[in-house]
Every structure is written in C-alpha cells, then in structure tokens.
Amino acid sequence: MKVPKHSLRKIVTFLNNPDEDGGFWLPNIQRPFVWSEEKTCRLFDSILREYPISTLLVWKTKSTIRRRKFIDNFLPPHRHQLTAFYVPEDDKKKCLVLDGQQRLQSLYIGLKGSYEGRELYLDILSGEVAAPDDVKFKFEFLEADKGKFPWIKFKDLVFSKQDMLTVAEGLVKHAGRALNDSEKQKISKHVALVFKAFHSDDGIAYQELDSIENEDLYTEDDVVEVFIRANSGGTPLGKSDLLFSLLTSTWDNADDQMESLLENLNRHGFGFTRDFILKTCLTLLDQGARYDVEKFRKKGVRQDIEEKWDDISNAIEDVLDFVRQKTFVQCDKALPSYLLLIPLVYVRYHFPKQWAQAKDVETYLVRTALTGAFSGTPDQLIDLLVKQLKTIGRFDLTEVFGTIRSENRSLELTENRLWEMGYGSDTIHLIFNLWYSFNYTPSYDNNLPQVDHIFPQSLLRKVKMKNPDNGKMNLTRYKADDRDQLANCMLLTAAENGAGGKSDTAPDQWFKDKTDEYLDRHLIPKDAALWKLEQFGDFIVARQALIREKFKYLLAGTSTVAT
C-alpha cells in the first residue's frame, strides 16, 4: 500500500480537480459533512500548533461508482442537497476519499471556499492559550467588511506567492496603526509558522488503495468493507451511516430516494432522520428493529429495500399524515420519540385494509408518548409488538398495551410524572398540544408558539430566604425545579412573547386586563391576589388543581383513565 505525502496547501488543490491525478472526490457511501464552524476553526488551530491530524485513506480507481464534489461554499444541510454535488459517472482515473472527509472538507472550506458566505480569518496577533477553550490561534469565519487587522484572510496567507519575510513586512505596513516590536516579532513568527505548516511536503499523508495498477486487488465490496472498518472507531460514523453505506454500494439512487422521502416527511416541521427510516425498513421486512451490519450483508435484504421502497415510503408517509390530521400531534415537539410510530407503520404496510379501520390510535400515541414507553432501548419491545400485530393482523389497543406492560413499561400517567413536564422537558410541548389549539406549524420558525414562565425567573431568583449558617437573607428561595415546574408554565404565541410582549412582566401586571376567556384557556386562577410574587406558592397549588381537573381523564387512579 502506497503512502504518499503532500503539503496541506497542495492537497486542497487535488479536491474536485481532475487535472491533479484524477482529483480527490467523495464516494456515494460517505455521509454529509457534519463538523460545526467551531470544530472547523479548531482544526486550523491544531495545525498551527503542529498537532498531528492523522493519515487519510483514498481509493485510486477507474470504477464508475457514483461520487460527488467537496463543498466549497458550505450552507446548513437544509439549504442544499447532496445530489447537487454529484458529478457525472465515468471510467477515468480518480481518487475516492474513504477516511478523512471531515478534515479535507474543513480545509477546503477554509482555504478555497466559505462557511455560510463568510471566509476564514486568523487573528495574526493571537498565539496564547486561552482558557477554558484551550484555543491558541484564533480563527473565525468573518464577513469581508469585518475582517480588519489583526484579522487576516487566511487563504491569502497560505497561497501567497511572496516569501514569508515580504508577507510579514506587508502585514506590518498595512496594519493601520503603529505596531510595537513585540507585535512585529509575533507577526513574523506566525507567518513563518503558517508557511511551515501549510507548505511543508510532510504536511499530510494518505494511504492509497490502488485498483488501477492491479484492477483485481480491491473490488467494490472490499472497499465498502474497508470504509466501514476505517470509520467504525471513535465517533465519526453512527451505525445508521454504516448501514446506509452498504445500501448505497448496490443501490445507485439510494441517496436520491432517501432525501426525497425525508423532505416529504419533514416539510411540516418534523425532524425524521435516516436512522429512523433504516430501522423502520428492517422492522417492516421482519429483520428485527436492532441495528446490525450483518443484516444488511444478508442476501436479499438490500435488494428487498430497493424493490419495496415505494411501498415502504408510502406506508411511512400515510401514517404521518394520519397522525397529523386525525390526532392531537400538531408538531415535531409533540413526539418525544418517533419510534412509537413503527408499529403503526407495520400495520399500514402489511395490513392496509385493516389500517383504514384502525381505532384508538390517538389513545396509543398519548399514552406511549406521555409515559415514555419507548424510551431507553425499545428494540425488543418493537419486535414483540410487530410479532403480535403480524399474528392478529390488525391494530388492537388492548393487545398492544398488554404487550407493552408485559415488558414492565408503564402506561400510567401519575401526578408526579405530570408535574415533571416542566420548562425544558421533552414532553411539555406534548402536554401543551393536548391543552392548546395553537398553530404549531407556521412557515417561519420564529413564529412557533413559545413556552414561557408565568412568574418570570428573573423575579423568582430575587426572592431570598434566611441562610441557617450565617442568619443572612442570601439563599435563593425558589430553585430551578420550583421555577420551571409545569404549573408555572404557559404557552404563548410568538406575537404575545415577542418584542413588547410578556417577557419578564410580572403576572399581576400581565393578567390584570385579560378576559375570563384568556384566563380559562391558560388555566389561570382568577383570584388576582394569587398573581402577586409573594403568593407564588399558593398560586402553584391553585393552578395545579385546575391542571389536575383538565387532565383527570389521563391520570392514573381516576375512573376515566383510558385502556
């Protein structure tokens, strides 16, 4: 196996460039770029600190395998699709990057492109380790009009055709102010460091799997296996990424089909992922919900997914449409776990006529979502449920709940569980979906309804009590659990909570001119004396009683509890 070395400056010229030994490209099995802006900047900091950035792994081939370009001007994933970067398939020489995509993509964005329209700048006078971030050389992606000294556009330094002494003198000359000797020395030192780090031929090495000199040495199946093994260590790839790499190795349109399905599912504000789709595929094909690479290597599984993709997609989309249109679920926030949908998709996929007559689906969703029945590791539960559904051939709430309880998973909503659904919990929007009738799917994200504290945190933090250790009134009376509890939360429209809205307004001021209809909708005690800060405790007790009454049909121990 060859291990060529090149300077970092040289290696980025290989990316997307067929004139450089066929160019470096990304094979279809590679997932999207996932590094954040901060992590990209940290890579450049590491390079200037002369930290090793590991060896790359590339496959040199003439295979017609689908590939795509590296992204030059990076945008958030929802603003571009991978399919836009595909290049025409051909049998010419090329190098496909199997390991090192995130590093190379970061280098390409920083040295050849931009991050959301902003280019990479270096603070040329930085160089001291700054706690707690442990960053020595400060890099930032800045707009052009904000890149003023000591911020220097980094690509201009790396690709300068002048010698390092001339570059350093130019920076001093055009600094816009007189620099002291220490600053001049720092500039000279850092320019020299940039030249050393990015111009040295020992900058980066890559292992090369060469299928051009010997076409039979590495088959496409071999390369997929190498890719999986190279990316299985650490955290670069999740299990779904590995499974998808196997799927795309034999199904050319897998990326297109997956992106199209996710776009359809998520257009109403949901956040379905490839992970959910692949787990659903395995379950529908009776392979079990647990992720296992061997399942995707099993004969016929990948072919089944490709051949039955339209039916699988239709089943998933039909169930989501049913949930959105006929149940309380109005938005993504009302589903703490998407996994509870898989048994429903199974019925729709295998028994479409029976699905059309399904009853009690909303009760199933409410109970399982509120009680977290599918939390933790629910693969075994999903397998038991689909086995049962396959046997009875329909959705039956009593049978389903019996199976869930047999796995020691509770479906009872206790008062303690209800009060835990406070500010920041994963179920507060679920309970508010049952409570309110706001539009949860506006076109503009900033118009989403907002959870707000009735008694503002800023006011509650100011309420003190006596410290038993020193007798002083310096202890905060109301801790986070007190401030964030459900009985101190309400749901406001974006307009109500925006500029000039409630914000930190005390309840006695906010509610004083509100109608009875408004107070009833938010379950606010109508005794205005309870709206004062000093009555916070009594207000909570009174509002809990109103909430308890509204949701008594859900609470364990009441005569109206569902099955």
Task: Quote the CA–CA distance of 404 and 400 in Å, as a whole number.
Answer: 6
At residue 273, φ and ψ (nearest 5 deg) are -125, 165
Flag whether 532 is in a domain. yes
Task: Quote the CA–CA distance of 386 and 346 in Å, as a whole number.
Answer: 7
Mark which of 181, 205, 229 sits at the end of a domain.
205
C-alpha distances in Å from residue 114, one per residue of 43, 121, 142, 196, 304: 15, 11, 9, 23, 41
Task: Quote the CA–CA distance of 32 and 101 in Å, as a whole number.
Answer: 9
Number of domains composing the chain: 3
- What's the confidence (pLDDT) of residue 133? 65
pTM score over 0.85: no
366: closest CA among 395, 342, 334, 325?
334
- What's the confidence (pLDDT) of residue 559? 38
Mark which of 366, 395, 411 sits at the end of a domain.
411
Where do we find the tokens 């509100």? 514
Give Cβ neighbours of residue 138 (< 8 Å, ≥ 6 apart). Answer: 45, 122, 123, 126, 130
DSSP assigned state of 131: T
Flag whether 69 is in a domain. yes
Task: Quote the CA–CA distance of 316 and 346 in Å, as a whole number.
Answer: 9
Tell me the average pLDDT of the chain. Answer: 86
What are 71's two structure tokens? 């992204």
Say yes or no: 60 and 181 in one domain: yes
Say yes or no: 39 and 160 in one domain: yes
Say yes or no: 168 and 270 in one domain: no
Task: Quote the CA–CA distance of 251 and 262 in Å, as a whole number.
Answer: 17
Cβ-count burial 74-108 (b if 16+ within 10 Å, e if not) = beeeeeeebeebbeeeeeeebbbbbbbbbbbbbbb
Flag whether 225 is in a domain. no
Give me the domain span that covers residue 364: 238-411
Say yes or no: 188 and 242 in one domain: no
- What's the confidence (pLDDT) of residue 169? 95
Upper half-sphere CA count for residue 520 (Cβ side, 13 Å): 3
What are 338's two structure tokens? 């998407």
Say yes or no: 396 and 531 in one domain: no
Mark which of 145, 180, 205 sits at the end of a domain.
205
Residues of the chain with pLDDT below 70 are: 1, 77-80, 130-133, 216, 219-222, 224-225, 227-243, 245-246, 249, 293, 437-447, 497-501, 556-563
Flag whether 161 is in a domain. yes
Flag whether 315 is in a domain. yes
Say yes or no: 268 and 180 in one domain: no
Flag whether 487 is in a domain. yes
- What's the confidence (pLDDT) of residue 443? 54
Flag whether 211 is in a domain. no
Say yes or no: 199 and 242 in one domain: no
- What's the confidence (pLDDT) of residue 563? 44
Flag whether 425 is in a domain. no
317: closest CA among 343, 348, 288, 291?
348
Task: Quote the CA–CA distance of 326 and 429 in Å, as a whole number.
Answer: 18
- What's the confidence (pLDDT) of residue 29? 73
What are 129's two structure tokens? 């380790």
Q: Helices (DSSP H) in 177-285: which residue ranges?
A: 181-199, 220-230, 239-250, 254-266, 274-284
Say yes or no: 145 and 242 in one domain: no
Say yes or no: 316 and 245 in one domain: yes
490: helix, strand or coil: strand
Say yes or no: 139 and 75 in one domain: yes
β-strand pairing of 450-453 with 489-492:
antiparallel
What are 546's two structure tokens? 């109103």
- What's the confidence (pLDDT) of residue 295? 82
- What's the confidence (pLDDT) of residue 78? 57
Say yes or no: 333 and 249 in one domain: yes
* pLDDT tens for each residue of 161-178: 999 999 999 999 999 999
User: What's the CA angle centered on 136, arms 169 and 198, to 5 degrees?
Assistant: 55
Say yes or no: 120 and 266 in one domain: no
Radius of gyration of the chain (CA): 29
C-alpha distances in Å from residue 249, one per residue of 63, 266, 452: 12, 26, 48
